[in-house]
Amino acid sequence: MNWQLFGESFVTLFVIMDPLGTVPIFLGLTASFSPAQRSRAARQAVIVAFGVIVAFAVFGQRILDYLHISLPSLQAAGGLLLLLIALELLTGKGDEPTSTVGVNVAMVPLGTPLLAGPGAIVATMVFVQQSEGVRDWAAIALGVVTVHITLWLAMRFAGVVHRLLGDSGVLLVTRVAGLLLSAIAVQLVADAVRAFVVGTA
């Protein structure tokens, strides 16, 4: 097991998918739900997000080959995309999704795009592209599974988490997550530029 890669994939996806920051949105979308319905919604949202992430992890390479997109291009695009998400977390200007009549909120907008959004998809694809062998694949898979378990726990016990942290605590965690995510985004862009330079040298 490549524990360093596991740590990198877990931290990156944890920051992007932001379990604690999801809590107030989840509570708002499920305000009229019973405890049983809220628990079911948390489970469904995680299953949907996991399915989307796995689909892009497995078929991402084929999509890149078909569109003739290089890994450095994907890294640069992913870095810029993550930077936009980080700025939203830091400034609090991200649009919070609202519940829509007739739509299962566990699937849309919770499962996607709130949890399995563009940032998480791109980050997972980049990790898969950089992996070498079964050890790396296992590390990435474990990281993805662990993050989704954390997401489920955060939403399953959303009421308790929100009461413990309070609005100020959740806001603080969101800002710190934005700072970490911005650093990850800059690193992705820097690695992409370095790969471009080496490739053309």
Q: pLDDT tens for residues 85-125?
A: 778 778 876 545 544 455 688 888 788 878 997 789 889 99
Residues 109 and 68: their CA atoms lie apart, in Å, by 31
46-55, 87-96, 133-142, 174-183: which has the minimum mean pLDDT? 87-96
Which residue, 4, 3, 5, 29, is CA-closest to 123? Answer: 5
Whether the full predicted model's pTM is greater than 0.95, yes or no, is no
Residues sharing a CB contact under 8 Å with residue 30, sequence separation 6 or more, in sequence order = 37, 38, 41, 105
**Residue 143 domain flag:** yes
Torsion angle, CA of 99/100/106/112, rounded to 10 degrees?
-90
Q: Please report the pLDDT score of residue 103 as a whole number.
A: 62
What is the C-alpha to C-alpha distance for residues 50 and 105, in angstroms, rounded to an integer? 16
Residues 6+ apart with CB under 8 A from 123: 12, 13, 16, 78, 82
Residue 30 lies in a domain: yes
| Amino acid type, 113 | P
Specify the number of domains making up the chain: 1
Residue 89 domain-assigned? yes
Task: Let me know if residue 105 belongs to a domain.
Answer: no
Q: Is 47 exposed, middle or buried (0-12, 13-18, 19+ CB in 10 A)?
A: middle
At residue 41 the predicted structure's pLDDT band, cuts being 50, 70 and 90, is very high
Mean pLDDT, rounded, of the chain: 85
Domain that holds residue 78: 3-100+110-198
